[in-house]
Amino acid sequence: MENFICVQCGTQFAESANPPSSCPICEDERQFVRYGGQAWTTLERLAADHHNRLEDEAPKLLGIGTEPEFAIGQRALLLQSPGGNLLWDCISLLDDETIAEVNERGGIRAIAVSHPHFYSSMIEWSERFDAQIFLHAADRKWVMRKSPRIQFWEGTTLPLWDSVTLINCGGHFEGGTVLHWPAASRGRGSKGALLTGDIITVVQDRRYVSFMRSYPNLIPLGPPAIRRIVERIEPFSFDQIYGGWWQANVLCDAKAAVTRSADRYLRAIASAENYG
Q: Which residues bind Zn ion (CB under 5 A)?
A: 6, 8-9, 23, 25-26, 117, 198
Residue 112 near residue 129, CB atoms below 8 Å:
no
Q: How far is the CB of 271 from Zn ion (least distance, A)?
A: 27
Instruction: Provide the minimum distance between the beta carbon of 22 and Zn ion in the complex, in angstroms, as a whole number.
Output: 9
| Minimum distance, C-beta of residue 71 to Zn ion, in the bound complex (Å) | 8
Which of 212-240 are b and which e, b meaning 16 or more Cβ less than 10 Å from the residue's Cβ?
Answer: bbeeeeeeebeeebbebbbebbeebebbb
Residue 172 beta carbon to Zn ion: minimum distance, rounded to whole angstroms: 5
Rounded-to-integer distance, Cα 111 and Cα 87, Å: 5
Nearest to 130 by CA among 160, 106, 146, 164: 106
Kindly state the smallest distance separating residue 88's Cβ from Zn ion, in Å. Answer: 14
- Of the pair 22, 103, the CB lying nearest Zn ion is at 22
d(CA 70, CA 131): 24
Choice between 117 and 255, CB closer to Zn ion? 117
Contact indicator for 64, 32 with CB cutoff of 8 Å:
no
> Considering beta carbons, is residue 76 or 102 the nearer one to Zn ion?
76
Looking at the Cβ atoms of 30 and 232, the one nearer to Zn ion is 30
Nearer CB in complex with Zn ion: 23/178: 23
Rounded Cα gap, residues 200 and 226, in angstroms: 10
Please state, in angstroms and rounded to a whole number, the distance separating the CA atoms of residues 146 and 144.
6
Q: 3-class DSSP state for residue 224?
A: helix
Nearer to Zn ion, 102 or 122 (CB): 122
- Min dist. Cβ of residue 253 to Zn ion (A): 25
